[in-house]
Amino acid sequence: MMIPKIFTGILLTIIWIGCGSRTDNSRGGIDNKEKTAFQTSGHWKPVTDIRSDVAIIYGAGDRQAREGRPAMTFEERVQTWRDRGYITHFMTGIAWGGYQDYFTGQWDGKTHWDEGQVTVKGDTIWHGRNVPYIVPTRNFLKYMKEVQVKRAIDAGIDAIYLEEPEFWMRAGYSDAFKREWEEYYGFPWRPQHESPENTYLSNKLKYHLYYRALDEVFTFAKAYGRSKGMDVRCYVPTHSLVNYSSWQIVSPHASLASLPSMDGYIAQVWTGTAREPNYFNGIRKERVFENAFLEYGSMESMTRPTGRKMFFLTDPIEDWARNWSDFKKNYQATFTAQLLYPMVDNYEVMPWPDRVYEGLYQSCDTCSTKERIPEYYSTQVQIMINTLNNMPLSDHTVSGTQGIGVLMSNSLMFQRYPTHNQNGEVVEVFNKGSMQYQEENLADPQFSNFYGQTLPLLKRGIPVSTVHIENVSYPDTWKNLKVLIISYANMKPPKLEFHEYIARWVKDGGVLVYCGLDNDPYQTVMEWWNSNGNSYKAPSQHLFGLMGLESDTPRTGEYTYGKGKVYIMREEPKEFVMKEQGDRLFVSTVQKAFETATANKEKFDVKNNYYLERGPYIIASVLDESVSGEPLTLHGVFIDLFDPTLPILEEKVIHPNEQALLYNVEQVKNRKKPAVLCGASRIYDEVSKRGFYSFVAKSPLHTENVSRVLLPKKPSEVVVKDSAGKVITNAEHAWDEISGTCLLKFENDPDGILVEIKW
Q: Is the pLDDT of residue 435 over 70?
A: no
pLDDT digits (tens, 9 = 90+) for 599-638: 999 999 999 999 999 999 999 999 999 999 999 999 999 9
Return the pLDDT at 645: 98
Task: Decide: 733 and 650 in contact? Cβ < 8 Å.
Answer: no
Return the pLDDT at 430: 43
Distance in angstroms (rounded) separating the CA atoms of residues 306 and 125: 34
Core vs surface per residue 364-380: b (16+ CB within 10 A) or e: eeeeeeeebbeeebbbb
Other CB atoms within 10 A of residue 85 CB: 14
Return the pLDDT at 451: 98
Distance in angstroms (rounded) separating the CA atoms of residues 425 and 447: 20
Distance in angstroms (rounded) separating the CA atoms of residues 401 and 235: 33
State what percent of residues in the chain have pLDDT above 70.
93
Q: Is the pLDDT of residue 456 over 50?
A: yes
76 pLDDT band, cuts 50/70/90, is very high
Helices (H), 47-133: 74-82, 100-103
Task: Decide: 228 and 184 in contact? Cβ < 8 Å.
Answer: no
Give the single-character DSSP code of 121: T
pLDDT digits (tens, 9 = 90+) for 645-691: 999 999 999 999 999 999 999 999 999 999 999 999 999 999 999 99
pLDDT digits (tens, 9 = 90+) for 276-334: 999 999 999 999 999 999 999 999 999 999 999 999 999 999 999 999 999 999 999 99
pLDDT digits (tens, 9 = 90+) for 547-556: 999 788 899 9
Mean per-residue pLDDT over the chain, rounded:
93
Return the pLDDT at 68: 75
Distance in angstroms (rounded) separating the CA atoms of residues 36 and 57: 14
Number of H helices, E strands in the chain: 18, 37
Other CB atoms within 10 A of residue 433 CB: 10
Return the pLDDT at 27: 32
420 pLDDT band, cuts 50/70/90, is confident
Task: Decide: 480 and 566 in contact? Cβ < 8 Å.
Answer: no
Distance in angstroms (rounded) separating the CA atoms of residues 655 and 441: 37
Give the single-character DSSP code of 427: E
Residues written for the chain: 759
Mean pLDDT along residues 2-10? 34
Measured on CA atoms in the order 376, 619, 627, 577, is the torsion positive or negative? positive
254 pLDDT band, cuts 50/70/90, is confident
Return the pLDDT at 66: 85
Instruction: Give 186: exposed, middle or buried? Use CB within 10 Å, 0-12, 13-18, 19+.
Output: exposed
Mean pLDDT along residues 80-84? 98
Distance in angstroms (rounded) separating the CA atoms of residues 742 and 759: 12
Mean pLDDT along residues 324-353? 98
Question: Within 13 A of 584's CA, how many CA atoms are on the CB side?
Answer: 4
Question: Residue 662's beta-bridge partner residues?
Answer: 618, 640
Q: Is the pLDDT of residue 20 over 80?
A: no
Distance in angstroms (rounded) separating the CA atoms of residues 209 and 211: 5
> Residue 251: what residue type?
S
Distance in angstroms (rounded) separating the CA atoms of residues 36 and 226: 26
What does the DSSP assignment read for 123-190? -B-EEETTEE-B---HHHHHHIIIIIIHHHHHTT--EEEEE---EETTB--SHHHHHHHHHHHSS---
**3-class SS at 8?**
coil
> Which of 467, 476, 463, 506 has the alpha carbon at shortest distance from 597?
506
Return the pLDDT at 437: 37
pLDDT digits (tens, 9 = 90+) for 137-177: 999 999 999 999 999 999 999 999 999 999 999 999 999 99
β-strands 159-163, 233-238 pairing? parallel
Sheet holding 704-710, edge to edge: 675-679, 704-710, 741-747, 732-736
Task: Decide: 292 and 333 in contact? Cβ < 8 Å.
Answer: yes
Return the pLDDT at 424: 66
Mean pLDDT along residues 409-436? 69
Q: Is the pLDDT of residue 7 over 90?
A: no
Distance in angstroms (rounded) separating the CA atoms of residues 664 and 9: 11
Question: Residue 465's beta-bridge partner residues?
Answer: 405
Task: Decide: 648 and 700 in contact? Cβ < 8 Å.
Answer: no
> Which of 237, 379, 389 has the alpha carbon at shortest distance from 310?
237
| Cα distances (angstroms) measured from residue 247 to each of 201, 278, 312, 435, 486 | 19, 12, 20, 7, 22
Distance in angstroms (rounded) separating the CA atoms of residues 699 and 389: 13
Q: Is the pLDDT of residue 427 over 90?
A: no
Residues 6+ apart with CB under 8 A from 194: 426
What does the DSSP assignment read for 487-538? --SS---S-HHHHHHHHHHHHTT-EEEEE----SGGGGSSSGGGSTT---SS
Instruction: Name the region of 660 (left: φ>0; alpha: ψ -120 to 50; beta: rest).
Output: beta
Helices (H), 41-97: 74-82
422 pLDDT band, cuts 50/70/90, is low
Q: Is the pLDDT of residue 431 over 70?
A: no
Distance in angstroms (rounded) separating the CA atoms of residues 309 and 303: 7
Helices (H), 570-698: 574-578, 584-597
- Name which of 5-19, 99-113, 228-242, 265-279 the model is least confident about: 5-19
Distance in angstroms (rounded) separating the CA atoms of residues 362 and 729: 33
Residues 6+ apart with CB under 8 A from 333: 271, 274, 288, 289, 292, 621, 659
- Which pTM value belongs to this model? 0.94
Return the pLDDT at 681: 98
Let me know the angle formed at the C-alpha of 298 by 36 and 553, rounded to the nearest 5 degrees: 170
Mean pLDDT along residues 443-466? 97
Instruction: Give 439: exposed, middle or buried? Use CB within 10 Å, 0-12, 13-18, 19+.
Output: middle
> Which of 245, 305, 308 has the alpha carbon at shortest distance from 276?
245
418 prior amide bond cis, ω within 30: yes
Return the pLDDT at 691: 96
Distance in angstroms (rounded) separating the CA atoms of residues 291 and 243: 9
With residues binned 3-state (H G I as helix, E B as strand, rest as coil), the percentages for the chain, rounded to 5, are: 30, 25, 45
Q: Is the pLDDT of residue 4 over 70?
A: no
Backbone angles phi, psi at 436, to 5 degrees: -95, 145
478 pLDDT band, cuts 50/70/90, is very high
Question: Residue 312's beta-bridge partner residues?
Answer: 267, 347
43 pLDDT band, cuts 50/70/90, is very high
Return the pLDDT at 2: 36
Q: Is the pLDDT of residue 17 over 60?
A: no
